[in-house]
Structure 1
Amino acid sequence: MSQENVWRTYSPSAMEELEKVNREYKLCLDEGKTERECIDASVERLVKKGYKSLEAVKEAKQPLKSGDKVYAVCMNKAIAAFHIGKQPLSEGMNILGAHIDSPRIDIKQNPLYENDELAYLDTHYYGGIKKYQWVTIPLALHGVIAKKDGSVVKVNIGEKEDDPVFVITDLLVHLAAKQLEKKANEVIEGEKLDLLFGSRPIEKDETLDKEEKDTVKANVMRLLKEYYDMEEADFASAELEIVPAGKARDCGIDRSMVLAYGQDDRVCSFTSLFAILDVEDVDKTACCILVDKEEIGSVGATGMHSRFFENVLAELIALEGSESELKLRRALANSRMLSSDVSAAYDPMFGEAFEKRSSAFFGKGLVFNKFTGSRGKGGSNDANAEYLAKLRKVMDDAQVAYQYAELGKVDVGGGGTIAYIMANYGMEVIDSGVAVLSMHAPWEITSKADVYEAYKGYKAFLTAK
């Protein structure tokens, strides 16, 4: 069963809307290169659309009613937004769930050191990466520095035109004979992913300790003090992430694709956000939840395994005027969810890793993965056939282009999402998302057509009865 390339079906008005969605999508990618930045971008757009924080709604002490819009944030790294429907929450919700963390390189808590008059930041990579892809490319530093006085300073270096950028060095090819004999996962070791941070020694003056040896490090700290009023000890309470420097760009001579960092899974996160922002009248409550930590197992207070979502829903049921543990359980069990996560796009350059009949292709729309997991479906959700049939009708009625796929050949590998976690509540869940080329690389590629169809599909799902 072959899906037509959707580019052939678009009218001029559809093409205009497609480009509008993708322009906003690229802007969000530029604004949101970390979890915290994604939350800031999401809250800004939700508030503009009339959403109120859960804290404000609780303070007002007014019961929830159909049409109300509420959001809640967890530690600035996860968010849940609700457009209250006509039915009570206990009848269930239509939920879009995606993750806003992406593979990257993190700064350790005691990172700054000098080695032979070069200053470095010690690092620890986050999520599944090919380490060799991160050397010799321009890198930016994003994050926050939390200080003992309670203040939090935002850091963003490397994105402006006149900003400095950073780099992780590699061995020159002339001396790399032994290095090139290594396996790909050993060519660059994790402890050699340290960020080159400076090379200029501090100028000698009366404030410089005569015994000071690490003069380049001292100069780095002088600059950090000047820019951020930062002491070296403040690294202990900083969250600093190394990401590729640069903006999301159109890709291809025909401008049909998007090249950007972090499209796994922000292509699904931002299209899910766009969908809930644009729904107007819903029967079931529409929900969009964007979470952290999926790339490392959905753990921690801001990951899907936490009770954040469950706790927020309990608060909403109480605001409905019917606080009840049983109603909370019913609301979860009666809900339907799209676990909005990316799928591997078929790459003819590496066709041997794919089973072509069960692959996702660029330009063929939203991807449904009935099951994920690895090899023998290990760790998979595996959605019910009846639920998939309902979704087929929803998508067909809304004229959304969609396709079905697996993540490569059965014995080659695999992957997982947040789907199985929400399925633990007894709700219907299936993975659906956008096909991505070069997934988990510093720069990933998506089709603009698939981004548009994902937005359309997510919006249709939220309004389904």
Structure 2
Amino acid sequence: MTDLAQDLAAFVTAAPSPYHAVAEGVRRLAAVGFTEQPETGPWDDGPGGRYLVRDGTLLAWFVPEGAPAGTPMRIFGAHTDSPTLKVKPRPDVGSGGWRQVAVEVYGGALWNSWLDRDLGLAGRLALYDGTTVLVDVHRPLLRVPQLAIHLDRQVNQGLTLDAQEHLLPVWGLGAPTEGDLVEFLAAEADVDPSEVAAHDLVVHDVTPPARLGEGEELLAAPRLDNLASVHAGLGALLAAADDAAGVIPVFVGFDHEEIGSGSATGAAGPLLETVLTRLAGGFDARGVAFAGSRCLSVDVTHAAHPNYLGHHDPTHRSLPNGGPALKVNANQRYATDAPGAAAWQRACREAGVPTQLFVGKNTVPCGTTVGPIIATRLGIRTVDVGIPVLSMHSARELCGVRDPGHLAAAATAFLTDPV
């Protein structure tokens, strides 16, 4: 179990942006024989493993020998993006003799968690010839400096941040010049800066993942929400490929979940529906296939916070290393229903791993996931689960070292369950 936590740490480090997460996923899939299915090319409906990439979204699946049209699917749904600070199109700003980078908040980030951290910069550069190039400055480059307490004596009674004024990172001294940052990143990516037409860039904490606690039973790392789930899903798909019979295991890691999923590469877009329809054998066959299919929506859940226990339901708390939690919400912020819960419990029993229950406190609204969107768009029974973490949406989060292994094992059983 702890070996998987170490591999998760390596995966997170290799994936500072959704595009890097997809690239690392593709590397792992290709290493064991999965081949690319281009969106614009002819559809390959033969047996074997394939993957499809669109920007920050990755789909992969394995078709067993002899699978007929209408074969039901077992889907693992997660997301590749995380709350962060995203670089604006015109990034070069500054004041008071400092060079800074213009950013905007992406998703529901905990703003204060980005203060006084050593930050790198990662993403993609779009070139005039239509290609894109990944770039990752994985060393201290940026810092969002906090105001000294001497200049704000009341800060410990309440920190107030203005996203426009207070979250701009510094990256040097002097007067800002338009094109500075792009020129710097082009050199990092070994491309001609005059050929860079646009960019998608995010900041990231460069502190390495680390085990902590007396028994090193916890893992601190950035982007556990939701790369912990992406990592487990890829591992589960590869394991399921060796034991798939009567079902087609599918993995999808969407971009843009943290901002509502409403994009061409988000869960609310048509990409998954298109791929599943083709996997089912076409529109006429998909009704039967979808009716027999199930989806596991996997996103981290809230671990019980020891300093804020009053924010949790007292009988539905989850803790690290107690196994992934089944997430339930009466108002369908999570898509779990009783038959879906039974399928999850069966998978955990088959895999021999523990599971927990998470229900939010009645007076504290919970978040949501790609699960309700998939269920609504496709009519496929969906169940929501996730490993417990502390400091969700912080620049650095905390989970148990055993839970990534528990999740991967249970997900493997779910992806191969013929019932």
TM-score, normalised by the number of residues in structure 1: 0.82
The answer to whether residue 161 in structure 2 is matched with residue 187 in structure 1 is: yes
Aligned counterpart for 1:143 among listed residues 119, 123, 126: 123
Which residue pairs with 1:328 in the alignment? Answer: 286
Which residue pairs with 1:73 in the alignment? Answer: 53
Structure 2: distance between partners of 1:391 and 1:70: 26
8 A contact 2:99–2:176 mirrored in 1: no
Aligned counterpart for 2:261 among listed residues 298, 313, 321: 298
* Bigger share in strand: 2
How far does residue 384 in structure 1 lie from its aligned partner after superposition?
A: 2.5
Residue correspondences, number: 413
Which residue pairs with 1:282 in the alignment? Answer: 244
Aligned counterpart for 2:148 among listed residues 172, 187, 206: 172
Structure 1: distance between partners of 2:151 and 2:35: 59
Structure 2: distance between partners of 1:439 and 1:277: 28
Structure 2: distance between partners of 1:453 and 1:260: 18
Distance 1:179 1:459, change over 3 A: same
Structure 2: distance between partners of 1:442 and 1:363: 22
Q: Percent identity?
A: 23
8 A contact 1:131–1:190 mirrored in 2: no
Structure 2: distance between partners of 1:220 and 1:267: 31
SS at match of 1:396: helix
The answer to whether residue 346 in structure 2 is matched with residue 346 in structure 1 is: no
8 A contact 1:339–1:419 mirrored in 2: yes
Distance 1:441 1:128, change over 3 A: same
Which residue pairs with 2:211 in the alignment? Answer: 250
8 A contact 2:121–2:202 mirrored in 1: yes
The answer to whether residue 108 in structure 2 is matched with residue 128 in structure 1 is: yes
Structure 1: distance between partners of 2:180 and 2:59: 43
8 A contact 1:72–1:312 mirrored in 2: no
Distance 1:78 1:219, change over 3 A: closer
Which residue pairs with 1:367 in the alignment? Answer: 325
Structure 2 counterpart of 1:403, one-letter code: Q
Q: Which moved more, 1:421-430 or 1:215-224?
A: 215-224
Q: Can you give the 5+ residue segments of structure 1 that lack an aligned partner in the other structure?
A: 1-17, 202-213, 319-323, 372-376
Which residue pairs with 2:343 in the alignment? Answer: 390
How far does residue 24 in structure 1 lie from its aligned partner after superposition?
A: 1.4
Structure 2: distance between partners of 1:135 and 1:215: 22
Structure 2: distance between partners of 1:88 and 1:397: 26
Taking only aligned residues, the RMSD between alpha carbons, in angstroms, comes to: 2.5
SS at match of 1:91: coil
Aligned counterpart for 1:54 among listed residues 32, 37, 41: 37
Q: Deviations over 1:127-169 (max 9, x none)?
A: 1122122111111101122122334333211x2xxx4421011
Structure 2 counterpart of 1:83, one-letter code: F
Which residue pairs with 2:413 in the alignment? Answer: 460
8 A contact 2:122–2:201 mirrored in 1: yes
Structure 2: distance between partners of 1:120 and 1:379: 42
Which residue pairs with 1:196 in the alignment? Answer: 170
Distance 1:249 1:304, change over 3 A: same
Structure 2: distance between partners of 1:290 and 1:33: 15
SS at match of 2:363: coil
Structure 2: distance between partners of 1:261 and 1:428: 31
Structure 2: distance between partners of 1:229 and 1:394: 48
Q: Which moved more, 1:362-371 or 1:293-302?
A: 362-371
Distance 1:218 1:91, change over 3 A: closer
Compare CA radii of gyration and give the structure with the larger one.
Answer: 1
Distance 1:356 1:216, change over 3 A: same
Structure 2: distance between partners of 1:308 and 1:166: 35
8 A contact 2:100–2:176 mirrored in 1: no
Structure 1: distance between partners of 2:187 and 2:25: 31
8 A contact 1:346–1:356 mirrored in 2: no
Structure 2: distance between partners of 1:341 and 1:222: 37
8 A contact 2:71–2:280 mirrored in 1: no
Distance 1:148 1:124, change over 3 A: same
8 A contact 1:300–1:306 mirrored in 2: yes
Distance 1:143 1:223, change over 3 A: closer
Q: Can you give the 5+ residue segments of structure 2 that lack an aligned partner in the other structure?
A: none
Structure 1: distance between partners of 2:243 and 2:332: 36
Aligned counterpart for 2:27 among listed residues 36, 44, 54: 44
Q: Deviations over 1:35-70 (max 9, x none)?
A: 0001011111111111111139965x76523xx111
Structure 2: distance between partners of 1:327 and 1:293: 30
The answer to whether residue 232 in structure 2 is matched with residue 271 in structure 1 is: yes
TM-score, normalised by the number of residues in structure 2: 0.91
Structure 2 counterpart of 1:48, one-letter code: A
Aligned counterpart for 1:413 among listed residues 361, 365, 371: 365
Which residue pairs with 1:108 in the alignment? Answer: 88
Structure 2: distance between partners of 1:125 and 1:432: 27
Structure 1: distance between partners of 2:161 and 2:38: 50
How far does residue 358 in structure 1 lie from its aligned partner after superposition?
A: 0.6
Which residue pairs with 2:12 in the alignment? Answer: 29
How far does residue 427 in structure 1 lie from its aligned partner after superposition?
A: 1.4
Q: Deviations over 1:402-455 (max 9, x none)?
A: 111123x21122100011111122211110110001111111011011111101
